[in-house]
Structure 1
Amino acid sequence: MSLHVDEKPLERAVLQFIFPFAYKTGSSKQLMTELEQDGFVPFRLDDLKQEHAFYGPRYRVSHKDMERYFMPYACCILFPRNLDDDEGFRRFAKPIGQSCMLHMASQDIPFILHAAEVVLCPFHLGFITLRIELDHADLTFSEALEFADRFRVLQDVSAKDKQTSVQISANEYKQIEDYIFREIVRTMLAHLDNEVTQGAYFETLPFFVDERMYVQAMFQFKESERINAADSFRAMYLDGITDGGAAYISAGNHAYIDEQVKRHGYERWAPDTFFMMNETTFSVLTRDTDTRCNQLLSQHFGEHYYGLLMSLFHKISLLKLANQYSHLNVERDHRSVQRLIRQINKFSAKYYFSELSASVQGREIVQLLRNSFGSHELFEDVKETLAELLRYQEGHRSKSQNNLLLILTLYTVVGGIYGMNQVIEDLKGDIDWSKLAAYSVFEYIALFITLTGLIVGIILGLLVIFRWWSDRRELRKE
């Protein structure tokens, strides 16, 4: 049985919905070209005009603050100077400013889509982000939570989902997935890589549980309101409205609620501002003034957003590496083993930083995100996978070298001492093939060993050249 919760009015609610995806190998250049043709602008940290461009008319993000917030080695990944650098996060943003309506079973809520953006990441991963502000004069906390919970569902699963749709002028989209790929990012669908979900019965999009987007939310309460543990809990789990229209909380135990809030919360600025983080949401609840709230929103769109993207990238990359290992046939697919070893080494050395933020609060928030995502445990599993692959590769290489050495030794000893001494004279100059008819059994054996030895040597040389060329081609693809 759930607890009774009081309804609270909001000053504003600003939401970011983040959709991770995998794109096809070799399609990044074509995808970037199509995004620019569709009105998406490449993000540059040194372009200060973009500080006001993608966040709505009231908001601004400081590029200088973002650069100072992150460690230098993280900035090279998050803010690459060159779009051709596929080892960094290449961000394309599009200002939209579109008024829309979300139809739900309980009510309709108007919202403004300020902007959309696509971030292309290493390992053929990426994110689509929708930046939304609720446009409702008498907005309540429960309505904002219900909006977030309904809007994040890409494909209809429950009865509530089937009663949800997005209205834009004369166009109505029954599923949020259709709204994203037919209205906002029209060029993206053809580039999605769905091979990673082969074998699944119902899921059609990669790296998802129940086909839902990640929610980053900012809820501003009136200054007179008190933010309690139930509010923080509801913001973390997006507990909105019951079928009867009452405020809802998905727990009935005060001790459990307090424990979850303490475990997943960041209370540095309590009692005025609380941060709540788990595997599906990053929520900020504040009753601060508009001036302070605008500063929080600047971080919400900037530093906290990039910290969240990097943490999501860590988790999804680790899941992708673990998924590749689970489908790997180590006895047969030696090239895939080598590719996976390279990818794990690259991820460990270049992307999984022990420290991401240069500020104390940034490090604490990133650590909470990593704990929520279970990134450290996943990383330890991947490191163990790497150790197992290296042990297997070393054993396979040792076995192959021993077999090759045995073959070469046999040909060297038998062919050199026995074969070459038997028939070498007959193979000099112009060969008289009529002499073959007079050969003894042992001379035929010697001739066979000599000729096959030459063939084996040529084949081994060609194999070395072929593997060298294949390895170079694989490295270019990665």
Structure 2
Amino acid sequence: MENRVALTEKRMQVALHQFIFPFSINLNSQNQFKEQLLKDEFIPFFIGETKQEDRYYGAEYKVSHREMERYYLPFTSSFLFPHEEDNEKGFRRYSKQLNIVCSLHSPYYNLAFTIHSIDVIFCPFDLGFITIRTELKCEEVNYSLALEFAKRFRVLQNMNKQDDESYIQYNDLTFKESESFIFHILGPNTSAFLDHGRLDKVYFEKLPFFLDECMYVACFYSLVEDSEISLVDIYRAARIDGLNKEGKPFIGATNLNYIKSYSELHAYDRWGPDTYFITDENAFSCITKQSHAVAVKIANKMYGEYYYGLLLNLFHKIVLLKISNQYSQVRLEQNQGKIEELIRSITDFSAKYYFIEVVSQSQGKEIFLQLRKFYGNDELFVEVKRTLNDLFEYQSNYTNKRASYLLRILTIYTVISGIYGMNQVIEDLKGPISWRKMQDYSVFQYFALIVALSGILIGISLAVDSLRQLIKKRKY
């Protein structure tokens, strides 16, 4: 279809990207993973260490830890920025400064870029994030090329001809896919700790927003000051539309009314027409035409407060989808233990991690809520709470039925063994037992003996099971 939308190329001052790869961690392997990261010269991130404020973001950029902590309400800051390295109930971040120069090649462009740093973040519920921070050399890049870079680099595994035609060059090494580049160069020892189990034991490959095997991307684009940010520019940032198959600027829509309504819905325009924040299911972008000094301050926010807001919303969505997926797989009549574990997970998530109020500042709150809205977290949370009610109702019915059956069985045993069985064989079980005498038992006496002994065994097993359940509950 012929593109009826006029595309005007824009010159860039700055093009920054943060590529975020969520993953599932192998069960009970976080401590080993942490030790490996420390060996690979990753450094634990603590908000109290101000020396880290300008270490991971490039020469011009700096994140104020004081402002970042104040940006979030105290109960949110407590798990976003834990004070102890071994706090498994919070986000534990490990960062490594790289500052390596690479290039992305295709038949239509050769884009040089710098990778400033990489993060590995451990989260509750055996989740993790890998974040890669890149910066393009803007004297060689226009707006379409910046978008094309984001579109290509975020693809972990090639899916089409354009992906196959592009490759990453680092020194003398060539990588056809971003995945191999990440796990061979940036984090060579991380892949072993990712959950590669069977699909019926993992959830991540089944999540709808990860079916395309792509990373999320946080983009910051600073255009030259005499530029005009149009609704078309906003739409392209939301959809990450770079170049078409012929290497020309591309937009994935031709209806100007649709582009207008889509862009107005997805853009946060409090600081328009100079600065816009755009949210979509695959990208969180900022476009500005402010002066370079102001653009640097906005970029610092993208590396700091807004970065953690994006991570927190992604964390919420992944956990909610994980819980929904687990619920769909539970076989109610056979997995009572899994039901109890799922109830604990939902309750723990609701009480400790999912809050309506998260951000203290008004503009930050609006951006955070926009991210939450487009990820559909509130709707997912309502569904999960409904799941919790269903689980409680089932567990209550199951417990009542189990108690009823148990009472019936114990009553029968009590009647038979107490009134009939014990009267038949009780005398032979006093003092030294005469096993030879039992050879002369009648059928009814054998029956009474079996009932009496099995009743004792059942009583012991019930006591042991109750003790085991009590110990298990105290662990949580």
Report the TM-score when normalising by structure 1.
0.95
How far is 1:278 from its partner? 0.9
Count of residue correspondences = 472
Q: Which amino acid aligns with 1:139?
A: V
Distance 1:141 1:56 in 2: 21
Structure 2 partner of 1:316: 318
SS of 2:185 mapped into structure 1: helix
How far is 1:245 from its partner? 3.1
SS of 1:156 mapped into structure 2: coil
How far is 1:439 from its partner? 4.1
Alignment partner for residue 146 of structure 2, among 119, 132, 144?
A: 144
Structure 1 partner of 2:161: 159
Structure 2 partner of 1:50: 52
After the TM superposition, which residues 232-243 of structure 1 pair with which residues of structure 2 at under 5 Å, given as runs? 232-243=234-245
SS of 1:195 mapped into structure 2: coil
Any gaps of 5 or more consecutive residues in structure 2? Answer: none
| 1:302 is aligned to 2:301 | no
Structure 1 partner of 2:353: 351
Structure 1 partner of 2:71: 69
SS of 2:22 mapped into structure 1: strand
Structure 1 partner of 2:109: 107
Distance 1:318 1:29 in 2: 25
After the TM superposition, which residues 57-456 of structure 1 pair with which residues of structure 2 at under 5 Å, given as runs? 57-195=59-197, 197-198=199-200, 208-456=210-458
Structure 2 partner of 1:41: 43
Distance 2:167 2:6 in 1: 29
Cα displacement string for residues 284-339 of structure 1 (whole angstroms, at most 9, x for unaligned residues): 00011111111101110000000000000001111111111222212112111111
How far is 1:22 from its partner? 0.5
SS of 1:137 mapped into structure 2: helix
Taking only aligned residues, the RMSD between alpha carbons, in angstroms, comes to: 1.9
Distance 1:307 1:39 in 2: 26
How far is 1:215 from its partner? 0.9
SS of 1:52 mapped into structure 2: coil
Cα displacement string for residues 187-214 of structure 1 (whole angstroms, at most 9, x for unaligned residues): 11011113374599xx699971211110
How far is 1:41 from its partner? 0.5
Any gaps of 5 or more consecutive residues in structure 1? Answer: none
Distance 1:105 1:389 in 2: 55
Q: Which amino acid aligns with 1:140?
A: N
Q: Percent identity?
A: 42
User: How has the CA–CA distance of structure 1 residues 233 and 48 changed in structure 2, closer, same or farther, with 3 Å as cutoff?
Assistant: same
SS of 1:246 mapped into structure 2: coil
Distance 2:233 2:103 in 1: 25
Cα displacement string for residues 371-422 of structure 1 (whole angstroms, at most 9, x for unaligned residues): 1111111111211211111111111111111111111111222222222233
SS of 1:73 mapped into structure 2: helix
Distance 1:166 1:80 in 2: 36
Paired residues of 1:143 and 1:240 also in contact (CA < 8 A): yes
SS of 2:210 mapped into structure 1: coil
How far is 1:459 from its partner? 2.3
Paired residues of 2:111 and 2:140 also in contact (CA < 8 A): no
SS of 1:456 mapped into structure 2: helix
Cα displacement string for residues 237-257 of structure 1 (whole angstroms, at most 9, x for unaligned residues): 111122333221111111111
Distance 1:300 1:151 in 2: 19
User: How has the CA–CA distance of structure 1 residues 209 and 448 changed in structure 2, closer, same or farther, with 3 Å as cutoff?
Assistant: closer
SS of 2:139 mapped into structure 1: coil
Q: Which amino acid aligns with 1:42?
A: P
Distance 1:256 1:341 in 2: 43
Q: Which amino acid aligns with 1:293?
A: A
Distance 2:290 2:223 in 1: 8
How far is 1:442 from its partner? 3.6
Distance 1:218 1:451 in 2: 75
How far is 1:438 from its partner? 4.8
Higher mean alpha-carbon deviation, 69-78 vs 337-346, is at 337-346
Q: Which amino acid aligns with 1:443?
A: Q
Q: Which amino acid aligns with 1:158?
A: N
Distance 1:294 1:197 in 2: 43
Paired residues of 1:207 and 1:316 also in contact (CA < 8 A): no
Cα displacement string for residues 17-53 of structure 1 (whole angstroms, at most 9, x for unaligned residues): 1011001110000001101111110000000000011
Paired residues of 1:11 and 1:220 also in contact (CA < 8 A): yes
Higher mean alpha-carbon deviation, 39-48 vs 2-11, is at 2-11
Q: Which amino acid aligns with 1:137?
A: E
How far is 1:449 from its partner? 2.1
Q: Which amino acid aligns with 1:49?
A: K
User: How has the CA–CA distance of structure 1 residues 378 and 451 changed in structure 2, closer, same or farther, with 3 Å as cutoff?
Assistant: same
User: How has the CA–CA distance of structure 1 residues 310 and 222 changed in structure 2, closer, same or farther, with 3 Å as cutoff?
Assistant: same
Q: Which amino acid aligns with 2:116?
A: H
Distance 2:35 2:404 in 1: 51
How far is 1:461 from its partner? 2.4
